Amino acid sequence: MSSSLAQGKPKLLVVDDEPLLREVLRDFLSEQFDITECASGLEAVRMASELNPDVILMDVMMPGMDGITAIKRIRENEQTRSIPVLMLTAVNSTPNRIEAFDFGADDYITKPFDFDEVLARVRSKLTRIRDFQKKPLARLELGNLVMDKRSREVFVSGKLVDLGPVEYGILELLLDSDGGVVSRKGIMDAVWQDESKSDRLIDAHLTSLRKKVSDFSGEIQTVYGEGYRIKLKADTQART
């Protein structure tokens, strides 16, 4: 994915069917971002492909194609699948958050929201992108799971797994630890880099990640009181 991060203001796509909210977001964020607006999920899918924004802020409840369907389409497109998407919604329930993360959302911001918080969360995504771009190229393998850091792709038994950027970041951190335990704080610091965020969001992302790599010959283990690690299952280790 090409990026505007080195060429000036980062590109931000704001997707919401409420013109007043789009206007307020534009007024608040335009000094730091090159902002494009649209009012529907269908437009968001098209404009994500045409503009290749650095970050997308997208409402969930919209007429026609909603935000959940739109993010699914964005993740299905090779060109747009790595763009961070932050969902804006008036619905704040665990099932809704998990559904959004299952389809590749990177963050979930509940309306009414604090504009400074929105800015902080968008900045944290951009920081994550910059940090990734500085990392050396590498390929990681564990059992039947392969991560190609050059293409940001993950395969299980040769089949491409569609991960959102936050899920990818958590998996990368676990694989880089080489079986060691990664604390919840370590995940927050590396993946979100935003002290205002609750670490309970990790649970929803891990639930989604575990589902998506369910055919993996290892497992993402919870080490109670300490954090998480990724290891091959005992029967797989015995066969190798």
CB-facing half-sphere around the CA of 87: CA atoms within 13 A: 30
Q: Which residue has the tokens 């997308």?
A: 56
Domain-located, residue 2:
no
Domain limit, last residue, from 115, 133, 151: 133
pLDDT of residue 78: 80
Domain limit, last residue, from 96, 111, 133: 133
For 71-85, the pLDDT digits (tens) are 999 988 888 988 999
Q: Is the pLDDT of residue 109 over 70?
A: yes
Sheet holding 34-38, edge to edge: 34-38, 11-15, 55-59, 85-89, 107-110
For 202-217, the pLDDT digits (tens) are 888 999 999 999 999 9
Residues 144 and 127 in one domain: no
Find the mean pLDDT for residues 190-194: 69
Domain-located, residue 70:
yes
Q: Where are the alpha helices (DSSP H) in the chain?
A: 19-29, 41-51, 67-76, 94-102, 115-134, 165-176, 184-187, 201-212, 234-239
pLDDT of residue 162: 93
Compute the distance between CA of residue 171 and CA of residue 96 in angstroms, rounded to an integer.
Answer: 23
In order, the DSSP letters of 202-220 are: HHHHHHHHHHHTTT-SEEE
Please report, for the domain that includes residue 181, its CATH number: 1.10.10.10
Show the tokens assigned to 188: 């927050």
pLDDT of residue 2: 45
Residue 238 banded pLDDT, cuts 50, 70, 90: very low
Residues 196 and 86 in one domain: no
Residues 226 and 114 in one domain: no
* CA angle at 211 for the pair 162 and 82, rounded to the nearest 5°: 25
Find the mean pLDDT for residues 187-206: 75
Three-class secondary structure of residue 34 per DSSP: strand
Find the mean pLDDT for residues 43-49: 95
**Total structural domains within the chain:** 2
Q: Is the pLDDT of residue 12 over 70?
A: yes
Domain-located, residue 118:
yes
Per the prediction, the chain carries an average pLDDT of: 85
Residues 46 and 84 in one domain: yes
Q: In which domain, by residue range, is 203 found?
A: 137-239
More confident position, 50 or 101: 50
> What is the maximum span of the chain, computed from C-alpha positions, in angstroms?
61
- Find how far residue 18's CA is from the centre of its chain: 24
Q: How far apart are the first and last CA of the chain?
A: 37
Residues 120 and 46 in one domain: yes
pLDDT of residue 76: 87
Three-class secondary structure of residue 113 per DSSP: coil
Three-class secondary structure of residue 84 per DSSP: coil
pLDDT of residue 39: 94
Residues 146 and 104 in one domain: no
142: DSSP letter: E
Residues 92 and 18 in one domain: yes
Compute the distance between CA of residue 142 and CA of residue 133 in angstroms, rounded to an integer.
Answer: 23
Range among 118-127, 134-143, 202-211, 229-238 rated most confident: 202-211
Q: Which residue has the tokens 């958050």?
A: 97
For residue 30, which phi and psi values (nearest 5 degrees)?
Answer: -65, -25
More confident position, 153 or 99: 153
For residue 57, which phi and psi values (nearest 5 degrees)?
Answer: -105, 120
More confident position, 62 or 8: 62
Domain-located, residue 191:
yes
Find the mean pLDDT for residues 15-31: 92
Residues 124 and 142 in one domain: no
Residue 197 banded pLDDT, cuts 50, 70, 90: low
Residues 161 and 94 in one domain: no
Q: How many residues does the chain have?
A: 240
Please report, for the domain that includes residue 128, its CATH number: 3.40.50.2300
CB-facing half-sphere around the CA of 31: CA atoms within 13 A: 3
Residues 21 and 71 in one domain: yes
Residues 125 and 154 in one domain: no
Domain-located, residue 3:
no
Domain limit, last residue, from 118, 133, 148: 133
Q: Which residue has the tokens 């619905």?
A: 91
For 175-188, the pLDDT digits (tens) are 988 888 999 888 88
Residues 179 and 100 in one domain: no
Domain-located, residue 54:
yes
Domain-located, residue 102:
yes
Domain-located, residue 1:
no
